[in-house]
Structure 1
Amino acid sequence: MATKSQVINFSLKCEECGTKNYYKKKNKTIKEKIELKKYCPKCGKHTLHKEAKL
């Protein structure tokens, strides 16, 4: 498991409306951006969410 210094916080931003809906943690050594299909309460449907800064 990663130590506390190797974990970074980030948010997931909806690609359609631009709101930040989810907040996650990941290991600092993972360089690729995370993209997940999640539910957006503002849009009212499942949309693509991409990693964004806090």
Structure 2
Amino acid sequence: MAKNKGARIIITLECSCRNNIELHKIKRKKGIFRYTTTKNRRNTPARLEINKFCPYCNSHKKFKEIK
């Protein structure tokens, strides 16, 4: 039988530069970069924002939780 995972859910983090791809002069690739991670729904009910490395921008940016 499968166990209930509880309050932990899988979320997707997307780069905040996704709308400004054309504005960047220095970039490696075109597109949108996403990370996946888990969070505890009870401890963190709001949307998550984490600074992570975006290979498309070639810098650290804020990644926001998407649905």
**Corresponding residue for residue 49 of structure 1:** 63
Residues 21-40 of structure 1 aligned to structure 2 (within 5 Å): 21-29=34-42, 30-40=44-54
Distance 2:7 2:49 in 1: 21
Greater strand content: 1
**Corresponding residue for residue 9 of structure 1:** 10
Segments of 5+ residues of structure 1 without an aligned counterpart are none
Segments of 5+ residues of structure 2 without an aligned counterpart are 20-31
TM-score by length of 2: 0.64
TM-score by length of 1: 0.76
Identity of aligned residues (%): 31
Which is greater in Rg?
2
Greater helix content: 2
SS in 2 for 1:17: helix
Aligned length: 51
- 4+ residue stretches of structure 1 with deviation over 6 A? none
